[in-house]
């Protein structure tokens, strides 16, 4: 098949989405990403990552989640399910964080 050369104004403009964006959009509203959760509480995503890794002196996790992940090749997207979100909401409320939830 021979390529067709056309004037630039006749070339279709295709907006591309990253593979991560395509995966996240396909998941549906029951899962939240690290970025979405950080935005929910108005904190930096790195702050949330550190909180999720933090443990008490007895070795138990400080917060629940993320408890699931999506993998595609070497890409890993960590996900909070509904139980994780509820637990994180309770943790943040106990810490005095106030947030507004859009569309819920």
Q: What is the C-alpha to C-alpha distance for residues 83 and 89, in angstroms, rounded to an integer?
A: 10
Contacts for 76 with CB less than 8 Å, ≥ 6 apart: 69, 70
pLDDT value of position 50: 96
62, β-bridge pairs: none
pLDDT value of position 51: 95
Using 70 as the pLDDT threshold, list the residues of the chain that sit under it. 98-104
pLDDT value of position 99: 65
pLDDT value of position 14: 82
Tokens 């549906």 found at: 28
pLDDT value of position 92: 92
Residue 63 contacts residue 52 (beta carbons within 8 Å): yes
Residue 91 contacts residue 63 (beta carbons within 8 Å): yes
pLDDT value of position 84: 95
Q: How many residues can be counted in the chain?
A: 104
pLDDT value of position 100: 62
Q: Which fold has domain 18-94?
A: Multidrug-efflux Transporter Regulator; Chain: A; Domain 2 (1.10.1660)
């Amino acid at each position: 098949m021979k390529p067709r050369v056309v004037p630039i104004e006749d070339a279709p403009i295709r907006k591309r989405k990253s593979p991560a964006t395509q995966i996240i959009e396909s998941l549906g509203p029951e899962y939240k990403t690290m970025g979405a959760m950080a935005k929910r509480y108005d904190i930096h995503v790195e702050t949330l990552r550190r909180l999720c890794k933090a443990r008490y002196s007895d070795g138990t996790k400080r917060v629940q989640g993320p408890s699931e992940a999506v993998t595609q090749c070497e890409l890993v997207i960590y996900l909070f399910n509904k139980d994780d979100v509820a637990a994180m909401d309770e943790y943040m409320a106990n810490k005095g964080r106030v947030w507004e939830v859009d569309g819920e």
